[in-house]
Structure formats: C-alpha cells, structure tokens
Structure 1
Amino acid sequence: MSRRCPVRRVKIEYGDEPSQFGHLYFPREGFDPEHARVVVLIHGGSWSAEYSLTIQTAVAREMSGRGALVWNIEYRRVGEPGGGWPETGRDVLDAIRALDGPVRDALSEQGLDPAGVDFSTVGVVGHSAGGHLAVWAVGQLGARTATTRITTVVAEAAVLDTVSGADKPALRALMGRPFGESPRRYREASPMLAPVFDAHVVAIHGDADDLVPLESSRRYVEDAVARGQSAELIVVPGEGHEAFVDPRSACARQTVRVLGI
C-alpha cells in the first residue's frame, strides 16, 4: 500500500443524541496489516460547541491515507443540550467503546474484514481539551474496552491539570460551577490525578504555545512517571498551539511518528 492511499469516510452514531457520532476513515482499497493501526481522534476547542470534529478532518485523512483506521469522534460540548461535565466525559468513553461494536459493524457493511485491523494496539490522540479527555478516558477505561487494548495515548498541547487550571473560564464552563463549590468534580476530571494505566502516554507540546503552557505538559509527565505511569514528553521547537491540526506541521508529524503509521 502506498503512503498516500485513497480514503473513505462514513458517519457512525454511538448514541441517540445529535452529537453522539463520529467519522470513520479507512483506506478505500482495504487494509495493509503493516499500517492498519486503529487511531481514535478527540478534537479540542475548549470543550465548546463552537468547535467540532471537523477541526481534525485533515489530520484524520492524512492518517488514514497512511493506512490507519481512524475514528474521529464528536461528543456533547458546552453550549448544547447535555454538554458539560460529566456528560462530556461519558460521551468520550462511549465513543471509544464503540470500537467494540458499531465501528466493526460499519467495516463489515463497507465490505471490509475487521480481522485485517489490529485492535490490540489502539492509539488515542487528543488535542488541547481533547487531550484532557483522551488521558482521562483511557484512565477510566484502564486502557481497555471489551475487545480492544489501548497501548498509546498522545496528549497534544493538552489540558492535563483541571485543579490548577480551575480559574480558567473554559474549564469553569465545562464543570458548571466554581472549584470552591465542587472541588471533587475538578479532581475526578483531572488527568493529573488519574489512576495509573497500562499504556504509554506521550505528551507533545510546541515551545511557542501561548495558550496552554509547555510547563503543564512537563509537570504532568514528571508527576506521572513518579507515580509509575509510563510517560514521556516531546518538545517541538518553534510551533504553537494550533500546529497539531495542520498535518504538514512538525507537531503533527511527531504524532504520526509516535503512532508508527
């Protein structure tokens, strides 16, 4: 299979609400076992309904063009019915669990054999607010669903500490109340406080990021490793927060390299 094969996209619903769906990308001509890794993409955008999964369309197409099965998920966000914590987090859990059924069913309906895809080395990638959701969700799942194993989590310029960032307006909007009124809610949502899980977390951060400080990823990795979590930090020089949604950027290329696709 060439490094840039034609891709197809299908919409799959994993729940009954309008935002409980995702776009599944896959090579049009079938899978090459060497590159057929499963990747779950979780978009950012301050957990707000102002942004959607289309932020990740170009990245999803690039990864699928390299042979991967890419599940670009949507979820209920702040500003729409049901959005906010904990429902936003629960949607992400359900979307990842959809790999067990709806995603495999869709492949079969498209005439592709799910057995040609490696569901034992799933990668979960989240950018910014999506990085928060990625690390939190994989921790909640224990890096497994009923039929899959998650081996890599890529946290791209991610919000990884919901306690120290509790004063940020977007985070307060997600939580629905100030930290002083519900500190437990902020702690339970924090990747920094997530249980150790059997997957490798790679925090990738541009050193020119003026939205989410590089130091936050550095601090997360240091703390995670001290707690026994497999984790590492990759610093990309000269790129900022939005570089990850451009598949031509060095940040995006680092993600592809980490995933091995």
Structure 2
Amino acid sequence: MRRWLLLLWCLAALDVLALEPGKIMSAADLAGFPQPAPTARIAYGNQALQFGDLRIPDGPGPHPLAIFIHGGCWLSAYDISHSAKLTQALADSGIAVWSVEYRRVGDPGGGWPGSFRDVGKAADHLRELATQYPLALDRVVAIGHSAGAHFALWLAVRDQIPPEHALAAPEPLPIAAVLGLAPAADLGFLHQQQVCGQVIDGLIGGSPDRYPERYRWADPARFALPGLMQVMVIGAHDRAWAPVGERYLAVAQARNDQVRRVDAPESGHFEMIDPDSSTWPLIRDWVHQLVSVGGGQLPAADKQSDE
C-alpha cells in the first residue's frame, strides 16, 4: 500500500515539477531505499507510533547528536522508513541520530495537538536516553526534511510557548541549531497555497482565521529566533517546494534571524535525503559544522557550500 501511495504522490508531483526525466529523483525512488537496522528502536510513549530509531556511531563518545524528523506532508501514508538510509549515513559519519516517528494526519491521535506533542515528547526523551547512551545533549541539532523541517524549527521555539498552552512542556530540550532540507515551515502560507491539499487544516484543525491562537504557537514563521542558528537547503531542481522554502527564508531574514540559505545545485526534493546522491556531502558537512559550533554563531559563508 505504501509503495502505491508513493507512486501516486510521484505522478502528481511530476505534473508540477516538469523536470528532466531520469535525472531527478521522484518519491517512487524512496520505496526502494534500504532500511538498515538502528542501534535501538525505543518507545517514548505508549502509542504504537510513539517511537524513535537511535543510531550510535562507533567510538566511546559522548557523540554529537542530531534529531531527525522525516517529511511526507504530515500524512499518515509516509512514515519513518524512507529516512533510515540517511540517518544511518549520518551515524556512520560520526553523528548520533535520534530519528523520530510520530502520529500524523490520518493516524488516531494525529494532527492537533497530538503530532506536536509527540515530536516534543520524543525530543525531551533524549534526557533519559543520555543516561544509557553516550550522547552530548549540549549540542543538539534538529534536522527536518520537507514537512519535518517545520517540526525541527518548532522544537527550537517550544521554550517560548506559554506554560498553560496545549503545546507547552515543562523543560523543552534546548536546540542549538536547525538544518532544514527543502523546508516547509510557514503554516499560514502553506494553508493559503493549499500545499498538500488541505493537510494543514488536518494538522491544526482548521484555518488561521478560525484558529489564530493555534497557528501562533504551532507555526515557526510566527516566532522571533535571533539566537538560533538556521540553515535552509534549497534544491535547484525542486520547483514545487523551493518557493515554500524561500517563503520561510524571507520571513526569517526580515526579522533578522541568524539564517543561511544553502543552494544544492544538483538536487530536487529527494536527493538531499539520499546519501548516494551528489548532494550528500553538502548535507553531511553542514551537519558536522552545526554540531561543532554548538550554540554559537553560524560558520562564515563558504563559497563552495553556498553556491
């Protein structure tokens, strides 16, 4: 069933992308990705989809740590499985990875507020995991692909949510930096443009006009993030999603966030999550740069990386 759904997504996207056939990956390619076993699959809650895959590099540690959140339009049809290839490659490069599964739109308990609570709970569960595994919690980078980039950014703003709010947590895990891969992060814009159909209605429960307070605390585009290092990777051939990422970049730059645009010249929407693609070294190197600087400043612009 998942393979069939991915194929439908691919065929629909091709009408929009109009890319050269055979050169740019499609969603159908994800179905053939290998799924290497993690170090451990660990529950962070009692529901079936409340789990994460932890991947630990070789060596004694403590290891720099990335939280990875997969994309798929926030929909139940697209799960964690297609991200195993990428997260294992990150672990092989020396980064511990906590790859989060969560209830999505269409899953029982998914949408508002369950999807948000799941992602937040998964991140905070790392404090417990750090008592059992050699993880460096002082330099956590959140990575998200497509819709997952929304949640990666949202993890970094949870400390601004009022304590009485439905999405609040007592002590959110601090996030040092966010790496957004083909980011879909401005929920108001996504709702307006009907990106992925009406999925934002399913995620939030309705429109911004109906639920302005929900959007206020669920949408990273509505937060000021001056102290957060943000790197947003835009694929040169990702014609359907690049404008979505550019929209978030414009918002972040207008409020003087510490945000960097990085162009991936040979990437569509999916190359950046494929370690066998020519885009992989760019992604790997940025993850390593971000974990190395912790909560400091973005590295100086590098001509090779940013063009």
Q: State the TM-score, normalizing by the size of structure 1.
A: 0.83
Q: How does 1:66-215 map to 2 (within 5 A)?
A: 66-101=93-128, 103-107=129-133, 114=134, 117-141=135-159, 149-167=174-192, 168=194, 169-196=198-225, 198-212=227-241, 214-215=242-243
2:64 to 37, 53, 71: 37
- Cα distance in 2, alignment partners of residues 185 and 175 from structure 1: 7
Give the residue type in structure 2 aligned to 1:209: D
Counterparts of 1:245 and 1:175, CA distance in 2: 27
Contiguous gaps of at least 5 residues in structure 2 = 1-35, 161-169, 290-307
Range that drifts further, 162-171 or 63-72: 162-171
Separation (CA, whole Å) in 1 of partners of 2:173 and 2:190: 32
CA RMSD of aligned residues (A): 2.5
How far residue 20 of structure 1 moved from its aligned partner, in angstroms, is 0.9
Match of 1:252 among 260, 268, 280: 280
Other-structure match for 1:221 = 249
Task: Tell me by how many angstroms 1:184 deviates.
Answer: 3.2
Taking structure 1 as reference, are residues 32 and 178 closer, same or farther at Cα in structure 2, changes over 3 Å only? closer
Distance in structure 1 (CA, Å) of the matches to 2:38 and 2:155? 27
Structure 1: 5+ residue runs without aligned partners?
1-5, 108-113
What is the TM-score normalised by the length of structure 2? 0.72
2:80 partner amino acid: L
> Residues 51 and 163 of structure 1: is their aligned pair in 2 closer, same or farther, counting only changes over 3 Å?
same
Which letter maps to 2:182?
A
Which has a greater percent of strand? 1
Shift of 1:236: 1.0
Residue 17 (str. 1) matches residue 30 (str. 2): no
Distance in 2 between the 1:182 and 1:75 partners?
Answer: 23
**How big is the shift at 1:248?**
2.1
The CA deviation at 1:149 is: 4.1
Give the aligned residue type for 1:191.
P
CA distance in structure 1 between the partners assigned to 2:266 and 2:201 by the alignment: 30
Residues 26/91 of structure 1: CA separation in 2 closer, same or farther (3 Å cut):
same
Residue 56 of structure 2 aligns to a residue in which SS?
strand
Contact 1:204–1:251 at 8 Å: present in 2 too?
A: no
> What's the CA shift string for 1:163-192, capped at 9, x where partnerless?
122142222222232344323323432221
